[in-house]
Amino acid sequence: MDSTTVLVLNGPNLNLLGEREPEIYGSETLADVEARCRAAGEAAGLTLEFRQSNHEGVLIDWVQEGRRGIAGLVINAAGYTHTSVALHDALSAVTVPRVEVHISDIHAREEFRHHSYLTDVTDHQVIGRGTAGYVEAILWVAAQREG
The set of catalytic residues is: 25, 102
Greatest Cα pair distance in the chain: 39
CA distance 123 to 97: 6
Beta-ladder partners of 41: none
3-state secondary structure (DSSP) of residue 130 = coil
CA distance 98 to 44: 17
Angle at 82 between CA 141 and CA 99, to 5 degrees: 5
